[in-house]
Amino acid sequence: MFNPLKDSIKKATELPEITLPTKSFGKSSVLMGQSQDNKHIKNYWGWSILLFLLMISLLRVPFSGCYIDAFVFEFIYGYTKYIIYLWLIIKVIYSIASKTKFRVLWSFKFIYGELYLFTALSVLITGISHANLGNWPYEYSNDTSNKYWVNAVDNYIYGHFLPYALNPGLNYQHIDNEHTWFINSYFRTYNEETKVATYHFVVSGGFISEIILISRASVLSIIAFIWTIIAVAYLMSYKSKRWSLFLSKIFNKLVGLDNKDPLSKNSDDVKVRKTSILAIKRSQIKNQTPPISFLTDTSVDNYQKNKLFADQVASGINRFKEYYQLPVTYQKTVIMPLFSEIFFTANSDKTIEEFIRHEMELAHFTKLNQFNISFKGSELRVEFPNQKPSKVSMKSILSNNKIETNKENALIGYGYGNNPLFINLHDQPNNLIIGSKGSGRTILISLILLTYCYLNSPENNEVIVINNKTTTFTTSIDKLVHVKKVIYQDDLNEEVIKTLDEILKEIKYRNTLFTNHKVNNIDEYNDLALHSDLPILKNKIIVFNDFTSIVKQNNYHLKLIRDLMSQGRNLGFRTIINADTIDQYTFDSGLLENIDNRFIMKLSTESESLQVFDNYRGFQLYKNGDGYYLHNNEKLRFQSCYLNIQEMNAVIYIINNFYKEKK
């Protein structure tokens, strides 16, 4: 079988020695922009006021059966009140239909406070149903009953007829309320004829039960009210962090610092080694990178919880080895954001075989549903997913004091030992990402693009995305100011060939230009251009998303892409290939020879993993950004940063605003 990647990957060394971290890997976070959603804060207040009005209309005066809004909101008595409920229904429908405005119902995963609001609204709707929407019963009296008015004829009750609260002079009209619910539930049949004496017996005997039934809606409303107050308070405290960007801009304008270096005294910001070429040429030597403080760090660090769980698993393994008398010695435990590993030393190969042979029994002792056993020499390793995966954020890595971020760097995530992992697109311009659906390939591409564009101005950097179909990724990336073109499925074949031909023509032009001026790469050329009238050349990143479909649609694409990767290496062209599978139709040796970095995410089958690794490593990954990074003879396990579509849009918003202001 043709295994195009095997020869280049199987030479990679085993995983490097792992040291147990002395502390948690640092605060991780969900990436959020500070100023993007300021305008939505008032929407949450609008929701809270609406819920408050509705709940007020449900609360009752104790032991009187009267709704509070009979006194407070008489002006909306009658059909006018239903306008509010109709408004609520329209708002809910609009919330679901428009994903960008009201995220309370649609994207309650966005932050936990919105889940509170969603639940509070559900409780409120339940309260409305129990309160019999729109009816306001009062306490009534007549000769027959000193509690409720009833129509007594010949000592029989023919039904419960209650007058409107504010109009006692009107003809008696039937109103179905909690009292009639209670009576009818007792007599089973609606408006059944009942003797007055029996009626008095039921009312007096069931008074407490009736009060409980009548107050049920009030209890639900109070719960919903308290729930909503907590939710709104949480949301406001959370989103108040986003006012810092807005307030800082106002403060800078007031004190005259608007045009000064925003990083001058910020120890948390990125230290940039290189300055924008175009900025130097224009004699505007100032920072070209958005401050790290622009990103909100809402970190989720579950290191301690995962460490406790790993200790429990280690205890189970200890009982397992004692029960089967296996001479293995505990060495160390490593806690990664997504998984943990426990290392042992075995005294012989036979011991390792026995350990693996009792795999089912090990699952019983450790109570693990999923784990992997591997070994190298005498080292035995048990790997299992964490109960509470930690989320790694872009900010938590970029703000690491040990990192001096190079402008050519692109963020990947955390490697072994919880060390930040970057790739350098200048030295390693051609990158391949392989993984099944849901493995985190798209997130990894987004991280590479966002961090690179975060550190580099669109004045001298450009992104082209070639995609087989419209996705949330391409829809969002298309908004990035660095992106020149996004090609979709409808015009894929013709437009891809046209775009690649244009790139190859530019490669030929640059190659001639470099030869004439006796320079070897784009850095030497742009350095020469700084002191002459030569034009500055942009670095260009070309992303091939869903590479398999792109190549299978037209095999000519493969040749053009191969030429791009081989000829554009020193001319300022970088490529990112995203593929879900490998075969002889999509990859060949000519293309693979030019790949600098390979990122192997979760693979679909064991056979595909064997094709790539000569083992089951790729199949045993955990998705959600778990993968292997292969460069030259190095193979490194990594965990990419957490990034959903909301955080992605927030970072794009920050990048665009920053560089637009710099123009």
Q: What rounded mean pLDDT belongs to the chain?
A: 66
Is 437 labelled as part of a ligand binding site? yes
What is the rounded CA–CA span in Å between residue 157 and residue 195?
Answer: 6
> Of 362, 385, 408, which one is at a domain's C-terminal end?
385
Q: Which of 361, 367, 321 is nearest to 344 (CA)?
A: 321
The Cβ of residue 91 has, within 10 Å, a number of other Cβ atoms equal to 16
Is 441 labelled as part of a ligand binding site? yes
> Of 354, 385, 416, which one is at a domain's C-terminal end?
385
Asked if residue 144 belongs to a domain, the reply is: no
157 against 311, higher pLDDT: 311
Instruction: Count how many domains the chain has.
Output: 3
The Cβ of residue 653 has, within 10 Å, a number of other Cβ atoms equal to 18
DSSP letter for 266, please. Answer: -
Q: Strand, helix or coil at 326?
A: coil
Asked if residue 22 belongs to a domain, the reply is: no
Q: Strand, helix or coil at 420?
A: strand
> Of 41, 68, 88, which one is at a domain's C-terminal end?
88
268 against 299, higher pLDDT: 299
566 and 463 within one domain? yes
575 and 459 within one domain? yes
- The CATH number of the domain holding residue 399 is 3.40.50.300
- Could you tell me the two tokens for 391? 């989320």
Mean pLDDT of all residues in 369-386: 90
457 and 320 within one domain? no
Is 442 labelled as part of a ligand binding site? yes
pLDDT for residue 266 = 34
What is the rounded CA–CA span in Å between residue 115 and residue 109?
Answer: 7
377 and 499 within one domain? no
- Could you tell me the two tokens for 334? 């490593």
Asked if residue 216 belongs to a domain, the reply is: no
Range scoring the smallest mean pLDDT among 78-92, 96-110, 183-197: 96-110
Asked if residue 559 belongs to a domain, the reply is: yes
What is the rounded CA–CA span in Å between residue 42 and residue 55?
Answer: 20
Please report which confidence band the pLDDT of residue 256 belongs to, taking 50, 70 and 90 as the band edges.
very low
Q: Assign residue 574 a region (left: φ > 0; alpha: ψ between -120 and 50; beta: otherwise).
A: beta
- Could you tell me the two tokens for 434? 């392989």
pLDDT in tens, 395-447: 777 676 555 556 778 888 887 766 788 888 888 999 999 988 888 888 899 88
What own/partner pairs with CB < 8 Å and gap ≥ 24 does 461-465 have? 461/538, 461/539, 461/540, 461/541, 462/538, 462/539, 462/540, 462/541, 463/540, 463/541, 463/542, 463/543, 464/499, 464/503, 464/540, 464/541, 464/542, 464/543, 465/543, 465/545
Mean pLDDT of all residues in 99-118: 42
For 63, the domain range is 57-88
Residue 326: pLDDT over 50: yes
506 and 369 within one domain? no
pLDDT for residue 312 = 93
496 and 571 within one domain? yes
Asked if residue 451 belongs to a domain, the reply is: yes
Q: How far apart are the first and last CA of the chain?
A: 55
pLDDT in tens, 298-316: 567 888 899 999 999 999 9
555 and 588 within one domain? yes
Cβ-in-10-Å burial (0-12, 13-18, 19+) of 336 comes to buried
452 and 360 within one domain? no
- The CATH number of the domain holding residue 330 is 3.30.980.40
Is 439 labelled as part of a ligand binding site? yes
Asked if residue 408 belongs to a domain, the reply is: yes
590 and 533 within one domain? yes
Q: What share of the chain is helix, strand, coil (3-state, %, to 5)?
A: 45, 15, 40
- Could you tell me the two tokens for 627? 């993968």
418 and 364 within one domain? no
pLDDT in tens, 61-98: 443 344 444 444 444 444 445 555 566 666 565 555 44
Residue 337: pLDDT over 90: no
Q: Strand, helix or coil at 539?
A: strand
pLDDT for residue 241 = 41
Residue 14: pLDDT over 70: no
What is the rounded CA–CA span in Å between residue 183 and residue 443?
Answer: 60
Residue 545: pLDDT over 70: yes
Residue 108: pLDDT over 50: no
Is 267 labelled as part of a ligand binding site? no
Is 134 labelled as part of a ligand binding site? no
Task: Please name the helix (run of DSSP H) or strand (run of DSSP E) that holds residue 329, with its range, or none.
Answer: strand 328-335
What is the rounded CA–CA span in Å between residue 285 and residue 92?
Answer: 51
